[in-house]
Structures are given as structure tokens and as C-alpha cells.
Amino acid sequence: MIPVQTGEAPAAVGPYSQAVRIGDWLYLSGQIALIPATGALVAGGVEAQVHQVMKHIGAILRAAGADYGHLVKTTLYLVDLNHFAQVNEIYAQYVRPPFPARSTLGVGALPKGGLVAVDGVAWLGQ
């Protein structure tokens, strides 16, 4: 297991890695909308948070030599499922067909008061 880290995404707020690579698979930990330099939650509501989270996902993928096209599965965690349409619209700006498989879950709360989190699995093989 090889940890993948980048300063372009926030440092882990607990005992975990931003991502780990096992063979040709990359497992990305859940990302919330923290500003990497300060650890503060990005201002601007759910839209700004989704953009920030997806930028973190992209940065971690790049650190592993990949991009959004390598994602095969993501999970979205939303504190308010009424944001589903807004989140979908922004998420679609980052992923392209064929889209990764995805689950979306409503959750009671996220760390640091986040409104959205995303984790994922990427295939790095040929």
C-alpha cells in the first residue's frame, strides 16, 4: 500500500491518507471543502463547496498520475438532499462520459460543518 499525498488538497484531519494506491487501484478518502492553506471551510455555500471538493479530488488524482477520467466509482455525501440537483450540475463539470459509477447518500453531518463530501476509487491500469 502506497500513500498518495498532495499539498493541493487539505491534510488529513485524522489518522488516514488522502489516498492509497494498491497495485493499479487508487482509493481516495472523503474530501470536504477545506482550504488547504488554512484548514478553514470555503465560504459560499454548497456550490463553492462542491467545486472545492472536486478540485481536491483532481489534485489527488494528479498526484497519482491520473485524472478524473480514471475514476470508476464515487460516493457523494450530502447534508441536505435538496442540494442534489445543484451538486449534480457542478459534479458534471468535472467528470465526463463514460461517467463513474456513483452513490449519493444523505448524512446527518460532516466534519467541520461541511455540506458535501466526495470519496472515490480510480483505476490506474491500462
Give pLDDT tens digits for 51-100: 999 999 999 999 999 999 999 999 999 999 999 999 999 999 999 999 99
Q: Indicate which CATH number applies to the domain containing 116.
A: 3.30.1330.40
Give pLDDT tens digits for 94-104: 999 999 999 99
Number of domains in the chain: 1
Q: What predicted TM-score, i.e. pTM, was given to this entire model?
A: 0.94
Q: Residue 81 belongs to what domain range?
A: 2-123
One-character DSSP codes across the chain: -EEE--TTSPPPSSSS-SEEEETTEEEEEEE--B-TTT-PBPSSHHHHHHHHHHHHHHHHHHHTT--GGGEEEEEEEES-GGGHHHHHHHHTTT--SSPPEEEEEE-S--GGG-SEEEEEEEE---
pLDDT computed for residue 82 by the predictor: 97
pLDDT computed for residue 13 by the predictor: 77
Give pLDDT tens digits for 107-116: 999 999 999 9
